[in-house]
Amino acid sequence: MTTKPKISRAELAEQFRAFIDPDFVITDDETMKPYECDGMSMYCEMPMLVVLPETAEQVQRVMRICNEHEVPVVARGAGTGLSAGAMPHKEGVVLSLAKFNRILDIDPLARTARLQPGVRNLAISEEVAQFGLYYGPDPSSQIACTIGGNVAENSGGVHCLKYGLTVHNILSVEMITAEGERVTIGSDGLDVCGMDLLALMTGSEGLLGIVTEVTVKLLPKPEIAQVVMAGFDSVQKAGDAVGGIISHGIIPGGLEMMDGYAIIAADDFAQAGYPREAKALLLCEVDGTEEEVHEHIEQAENVFRKLGATSVKTSQSEEERALLWKGRKSAFPAVGRISPDYYCMDGTIPRRHLAHVLLEMEKMSKEFDLRVANVFHAGDGNLHPLILFDANVPGEFERTEAFGSSILNLCVEVGGCITGEHGVGVEKIRQMAVQFNDEELQQFHDVKAAFDPAGILNPGKGVPALRFCQEYRSLEYKQHKHDTVDAAHG
């Protein structure tokens, strides 16, 4: 695509103001400043302008104008993403869907809800609670993140082990194509004929279309849920215990792990009663009927003790269960209290390699001279290492990036992948050339071209340009061998 727009900012804004409230076509730098980044604030860029439409028809007209003039478009939800996936293009438009915030329909018999993309994740469960239902995927940012962003990143959460990611919990999406066409992918039925374009759209990071409506599946609230909290004196024992739980035929609603740094930070923040002396902590939630929950809770307690747990405690009330999860869901902001900055990574590995990868990360922490706090979805191997650093110290951010790259390379080495739910965005685009070869990357580009021939949707994100791949691979190889560590210290 042409990198230089064929239309000026003033001309583009004038065209948008013909059908969108002029107050929501933003061109001044001060008002656009909050849009320069998402939750990954280390990567920032100011857009040419920001527009906030409120109907699908307005989105269509925006896309037709931008496609005609080859102006890049970056769709944005709540801005809670953690891979710079919603970082603006300096010569493009940020298309905010913040005004698409209505729940359109709830069908308690079919257990579905039809939503606009700006509806908050937690608001879905709050609204359908009156019917004894809830929405399964529950990212830690669920109080703020939106369902449209969840579709873009294929978000999960602490209960994704048993109930799946976003892709497993949606039935259809309405989307606007790069050319401004309005189409529906999927249906209200449990299955559709033809290619599974819904799965392709889920996790596509705004590269293929603009989501304007989502139909989600709802789940009945379980009869009872309890959490077993187990402390361990080593991360290796905790990692082995994760495999132990699954191998005993227990499928927890959630199985989360935290290491020593995260335990203390989260407990200081939430006063959750965590074992502060532990080197690692597991939270294992079991839900279902009262009989099966009691049976599985007893089995889980026995497995943890057999595999070396130094403490085991089970929630005895709904309030106690909520408090244990409050600590886990507060872990990211809590870690911010013990470090000026932190870099949240996101990789996925086979569960059997969990202990090995955690031990390797401990070694890397010493080599890079940076602390790392681990908070992650242990049950499905989705790691979230938080690398602690100080951006005011010269060279420390660069060293942090190198540490993060080495962690992701290790994930690929053991048969995993470079993201589980945060997406690739800008942050991990170099690692795409490590995980995929040129032929595989070309297939990604071919899919992108089929949906967006002019290449205007979120350019520069998700899939690297093939001409840069050899350079990326060379750089990642050097970083993985830690040749950059001495230079970073220097």
Q: What is the pLDDT of residue 474?
A: 62
First to last CA, the chain: 40
For residues 416 and 425, what is the distance between their CA atoms, to the nearest angstrom? 18
What percent of the chain is modeled with pLDDT above 70? 94
> Using 50, 70 and 90 to split pLDDT, how confident is the model at 40?
confident
Cross-strand partners of 333: none
Q: What is the pLDDT of residue 189?
A: 82
Domain 9-96 falls in which CATH fold? 3.30.43
Q: What are the start-end ranges of the E strands in 91-145?
A: 93-96, 103-107, 112-115, 133-134
Task: Characterize the bridge pairing of strands 49-51 and 93-96.
Answer: parallel
Q: Tokens 């905790």 belong to which residue?
A: 238
pLDDT digits (tens, 9 = 90+) for 183-224: 999 998 877 888 999 999 999 999 999 999 999 999 999 999
Q: What is the pLDDT of residue 222?
A: 96
Of 3.40.228.10, 3.40.50.360, 2.40.50.140, 3.30.465.10, the CATH number of 103-220 is 3.30.465.10
Domain ranges of the chain: 9-96, 103-220, 224-334, 339-489
pLDDT above 70 for 76: yes
Nearest to 374 by CA among 473, 226, 256: 256
pLDDT digits (tens, 9 = 90+) for 151-167: 999 999 999 999 999 99
For residues 9 and 177, what is the distance between their CA atoms, to the nearest angstrom? 23
Put simply, whether the predicted model's pTM sits higher than 0.85 gets the answer: yes
Q: What is the pLDDT of residue 315?
A: 97
Q: Do domains 224-334 and 339-489 have the same CATH topology?
A: yes
Mean pLDDT of 112-137: 98
Read off the tokens for 362.
């401990």
pLDDT digits (tens, 9 = 90+) for 385-406: 999 999 999 999 999 999 999 9
For residues 436 and 431, what is the distance between their CA atoms, to the nearest angstrom? 9
Q: What is the pLDDT of residue 484?
A: 36
DSSP state of 68: H
- Assigned architecture for domain 339-489: 2-Layer Sandwich (3.30)
Q: What is the pLDDT of residue 127?
A: 98
For residues 165 and 420, what is the distance between their CA atoms, to the nearest angstrom? 10
Q: What is the pLDDT of residue 488?
A: 33
Half-sphere exposure of 419 (CA within 13 A, CB side): 24
Interhelix angle 235-247/354-368, nearest 10 degrees? 160
Half-sphere exposure of 417 (CA within 13 A, CB side): 10
- Assigned architecture for domain 224-334: 2-Layer Sandwich (3.30)
For 447, list phi and psi in degrees, rounded to 5.
Answer: -65, -45
